[in-house]
Each structure stands twice: as structure tokens, then as C-alpha cells.
Chains A and B, each alone.
Chain A
Amino acid sequence: GEDVEQSLFLSVREGDSSVINCTYTDSSSTYLYWYKQEPGAGLQLLTYIFSNMDMKQDQRLTVLLNKKDKHLSLRIADTQTGDSAIYFCAESTSNSGYALNFGKGTSLLVTP
């Protein structure tokens, strides 16, 4: 599939907000997802947004979608040390049978 781009690393202090950015290239993407992967663990779906939405909020998580720029962001409010993990942005389209096309992941480090 086409490339989904993410910055590789982000470091924040505990209690601050984290913003992880993603750029996707397939304008026909139907759903966009954020997954979390902790060391040695499987992929955990955090949240998703349908392509006709601009924003979705779910407790500490806020997803913003800019379809014009094909830009997706995940904001984590009041970041905790337990939020340290790799965060993957992924897109899916009906053209690909809704298989997920992942970015390379952003490694978030939360320091006390």
C-alpha cells in the first residue's frame, strides 16, 4: 500500500499533553485508526475515526482529522508513564478489503 508517515520518537513529561502526528496518502481511506503496542504485547486498538468526521474525543484521547491535508493526529491529555509505548497510525479502504496499512510507529516516552 501507499506510505503512512509518522515521526519516530516523542518524549514528554508526565502530566503534559502528547501529540502524535500521522500523514496518510490514500484519499479513499474509509477509517483511520490509532493502535498502541507495548513491549512484548500485541496491538491494542485505542480509537478510530471515520473519514467524514473532523474530530473524535474519547476520555483522554482526541483525534483530529484534516482530510484536505491527509493529516491525522492523536492527542493524549495528562500523559502518564503507563502511556509509554509505540503508537501506530493505520488506514483502511474498501479497495483493499479493509486490510490495515500501518505507519512505522511513533515511540512515546513519558518521563516523571
Chain B
Amino acid sequence: EAGVAQSPRYKIIEKRQSVAFWCNPISGHATLYWYQQILGQGPKLLIQFQNNGVVDDSQLPKDRFSAERLKGVDSTLKIQPAKLEDSAVYLCASTKSLLAINNEQFFGPGTRLTVL
């Protein structure tokens, strides 16, 4: 079974530029999460999708961050414009559904963003 795929693996941009990250969850997984992991901290939830609908985006800085999962499969996370404090690893995770026993989330390798 293929795992969660993310691209790019690394991205370096200057502040005020835009950037987009892509995630392909495990086939058949209905629930998709984006987390932000700043160096030295644990991952923090940005947004959660169930199929193509948003379940929770309360911690997403909506003035600069946006995310979509139009067909309920792949997802894109965008930052526009980026700030220095957005430097982090962006992790995508998926799970079968909200009702899956133990709700094990499978994580992708992450995209490491550096904002200069």
C-alpha cells in the first residue's frame, strides 16, 4: 500500500512570496489533515478535511493560508504572502474516516519550508 505522498520535499522562498504544497493521501482515505511543525515543537493542526468538506480550520491563519481538496482526494495548501515565521515542516496525514477504530493517522514525509 502506497503511503501519503507530499511534494515538494523542500522549498526555499523569500518573504512575501507565495508557495503551494501538494498532498496525495492513501487511496480510499476520506479524512485528510495538514499540520505545521515548527522546529523544536510538535505538529499543530492547520486544517482537517472529510472528503471535500472542511471539518476544522479554526487554527488556519486565513489571511494568508488557504487549502482545498476539491475532488476529495488530493489536497493543496497555499501560503500567500509568506512570512518568516512560516518556516516549518508542513505535514499531511490521512485516515480512513473519522469513525475508523483508533483513527490511526498516516503521515507523509513533509515539506520543509524556509522563508528568507
Contacts and interface: CB of A to CB of B under 8 A. Distances in A.
A24 to B, nearest CB: 12
A96 B31 CA distance: 13
B25 interface: no
Nearest to B109: A42
B39 to A, nearest CB: 11
Nearest to B107: A43
A104 B42 contact: yes
B111 to A, nearest CB: 11
B42 A42 contact: no
Contact of A97 (B35, B44, B48, B93): B48
Contact of A99 (B33, B104, B108): B33
A105 B42 contact: yes
A63 interface: no
Contact of A42 (B33, B45, B108): B108
Considering residues A97, A104, A105, which has the most beta carbons from chain B within 10 angstroms of its beta carbon?
A: A97
Given A98-B95, A100-B105, A104-B41, 6 more contacts: A48-B102, A100-B43, A101-B45, A102-B42, A102-B43, A102-B44
Interface of B: 31, 33, 35, 40-45, 48, 50, 55-56, 91, 93, 95, 98, 102-110
Interface of A: 1, 4, 31, 41-45, 48, 50, 88, 90, 92, 96-105
